[in-house]
Each structure stands twice: as C-alpha cells, then as structure tokens.
C-alpha cells in the first residue's frame, strides 16, 4: 500500500457521477493505496522542500457514488513522503496554477502529469507542433487581423480564448453577420486578450471525439455531441456522450502525438478530434473516464481508471 496525493479543487466541486478524479481515487482505494488530497492553498515551499497540508480522503459511505469527504485533520508533510502526486486541479491555468507547478517541480517524487509539461503544453497551441494534423489555427488579438483570418478561412471560423476551458467563451464568427464586430470585440476583450482563431470544421455538427491516452497509447474514446441549437459539445456545456470507436485517421493521429507527449512526461492526456483534425491536446486534468465506462459497460480491471492505475503502478514498481 502506498500513500498517494491528489492536488484537487475543493471536494464539494467533485461530481461523483462525472469527474475523472473521483474514479481515480476510488480505484486507488480498490488497489489498497491510501489517497490524500490538498488544495492549492495547502501547497508551499520551505527553502527547496515542497510541502502539503494533506488530508486523507475517501467516499462518505459504501454506497455507490457517495461524495468524497475528509477522513482526518490536515497533516503537514513533504511531498517526497508520497509515492506519487497527481496534479488534478482543473483549469484555468492562471498565476496560482503556474505557481503550484513550480512547487511540484520540487516534489522529490513522481508527479503526474509532469509539471513542466503542464506549464509548457498549452492545450490550444501545443498541437501546432503537428501542422499536418490540424485545421488552420492562429493566435491573434487585433480585430483587423481576425477579420483577415476570417477571409482566409472562407468566411466562417471559431474564436476562443487562449486560456479558456470547459467550452467557455467559444464563439462562431461569420462573414456578413451583423454581430461580427461585437463577436470579435468580446473574443479579444477589445484587443487586450490573445484569441485562438480556428478554421470552422463542418463535421463539428456531429460532435467531437475525446480520445484518452495513457503513456502515449489510446485506451478509450467518447463522441461528445452538442445539444440542439448549441455550438459547443463539451460535457460542461451540455454535450451528450455517445459510444464510439477510433477511425484509421484517429489511430494515425495518436501514433504521431502519443509518443511526443509520453516523452514530455504526460502520462494521461485527452486529445480532441473533429472530423479529420486534431483540435486540442488536454494535459491539465483531462476528463472522460466515467462517460467511456458507462457507454461501454466497463467494470473492474477493464475500466479507464484501472488502466490508468496499471500504468501508475508500473511506474512505481520501477
């Protein structure tokens, strides 16, 4: 049995029916590990030593989907006293998140995902490493530049904030739309904020596919279909999950991107694919495990969280 630490949002925000962190914790318990947790305000550095005011945690009862609760008073411990630390704090990647990764750099133990990668691999820009796999994608903040990009992209594109997450503030820009100026002003916060402009992909109406990778290899996928009349298909925005399989193109994308991510210490990653295109690489607290489990009726050692822990235990044994 090993003590393991999860860096989380407050426990009240963890949804037992949807959150991937929830099943990561329950699987740790199933395997005999002792999970603890800390929120960002419980992390610190004392000299070069990283510390956490950690609490044991677990489900409130033996009932299925019981909420996660504290199992004791906080205990100040060096991060090196844990076998592994999981950075599962949800975005935004803001100054507090970045500071936490600097603390995790000094953990003195295994940290997943690697904190340097969490800082460097922006979820909307890291895919630019693979121009052959992605739609036309640009980072802009000038409204005239965005109008020029719209023309280059055939009069229709998606704009989204560089540091956005969970489907928030995703907008569609269309040539001839009387609200176009307003859309671009909102997207750039009046030209004060970097904005990702991305070619509109017609296949988006059928949904986007979240593909989960562990150690660079795909382990499962779910198709996220937008609600009627909705542009966004993220689960946080009301998207519905549909069982799916990987296409030949998606296997190819994984074969190119997966090893690159593994080499950068990113054990658990979510790729987003629309039609033939890779559209995002999610390294900060990816989700989707529970939806894939339910849609494919996976149990026990066949679940996404079991495959995740197989990889973690393999690393620990080495």
- CB burial string 114-139: b at 16+ within 10 A, e below: bbbbbbebbbbbbbeeeeebbbebbe
Catalytic residue among 280, 291, 293, 307: 280
How many CB atoms lie under 10 A from the CB of residue 92? 15
Active site residue 280: yes
From the list 55, 138, 224, 307, the catalytic residue is 224
How far lies 64's CA from each of 26, 59, 60, 61, 67, in Å?
Answer: 10, 9, 10, 8, 9
Residues in a beta bridge with 4: 35, 84
Active-site residue flag, 124: yes
In the annotation, is 129 catalytic? no
Token pair listed for 15: 């949804």
**H-helix or E-strand spanning residue 22:** helix 20-30
Which one is catalytic: 89, 124, 138, 209?
124
Q: In whole angstroms, what is the distance from residue 250 CA to residue 272 CA?
A: 10
Q: Does residue 307 carry a catalytic annotation?
A: no
Per annotation, catalytic residue among 89, 232, 234, 250:
232
CB hemisphere CA count around 188 (13 angstroms) = 19
Indicate which residue of 215, 233, 250, 272 is catalytic: 272
For 150, phi then psi, to 5°, come to -60, -40
CB atoms within 10 A of CB 206: 15
For every residue of 263-278, DSSP letters joined together read: HTT--EEEEEEETTEE
Are 225 and 274 in contact by the 8 Å Cβ rule? The answer is no
77 is catalytic: no
CB 158 within 8 A of CB 170: yes
Please indicate whether residue 175 is annotated as part of the active site.
no
Q: Which of 88, 138, 210, 307 is catalytic?
A: 210
**Active-site hit among 88, 89, 138, 160:** 160
Told to judge if 90 belongs to the known catalytic residues of this protein, a careful annotator would answer no
DSSP state of 163: T
Which residues are identified as catalytic?
124, 160, 210, 224, 232, 272, 280, 282
């Amino acid at each position: 049995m090993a003590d393991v630490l999860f860096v989380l949002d407050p426990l009240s925000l963890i949804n037992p029916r949807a959150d991937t962190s929830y099943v990561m914790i329950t699987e740790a318990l199933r395997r005999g590990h002792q999970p603890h947790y800390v929120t960002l305000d419980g992390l610190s550095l004392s000299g070069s030593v990283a510390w956490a005011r950690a609490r044991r945690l677990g489900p409130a009862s033996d009932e299925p989907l019981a909420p996660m609760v504290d199992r004791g008073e906080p205990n100040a411990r060096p991060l090196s006293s844990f076998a592994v630390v999981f950075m599962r704090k949800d975005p935004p990647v803001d100054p507090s998140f970045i500071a936490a990764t600097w603390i995790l750099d000094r953990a003195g133990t295994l940290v997943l995902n690697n904190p340097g990668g969490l800082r460097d691999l922006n979820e909307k820009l890291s895919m630019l490493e693979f121009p052959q796999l992605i739609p036309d994608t640009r980072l802009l903040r000038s409204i005239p530049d965005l109008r020029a990009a719209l023309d280059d992209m055939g009069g229709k594109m998606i704009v989204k904030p560089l540091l956005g997450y969970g489907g928030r503030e995703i907008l569609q820009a269309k040539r001839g739309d009387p609200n176009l100026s307003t859309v671009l002003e909102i997207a750039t916060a009046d030209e004060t904020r970097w904005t990702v402009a991305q070619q509109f992909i017609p296949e988006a109406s059928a949904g986007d596919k979240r593909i989960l990778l562990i150690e660079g290899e795909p382990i499962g996928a779910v198709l996220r279909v937008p609600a009627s009349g909705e542009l966004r298909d993220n689960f946080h925005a009301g998207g519905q999950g549909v069982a799916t399989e990987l296409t030949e193109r998606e296997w190819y994308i994984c074969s190119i991107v997966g090893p690159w991510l593994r080499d950068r210490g990113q054990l658990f990653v979510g790729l987003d694919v629309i039609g033939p295109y890779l559209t995002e690489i999610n390294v900060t607290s990816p989700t989707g495990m529970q939806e894939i489990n339910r849609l494919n009726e996976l149990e026990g050692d066949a679940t996404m969280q079991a495959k995740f822990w197989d990889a973690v235990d393999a690393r620990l044994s080495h």
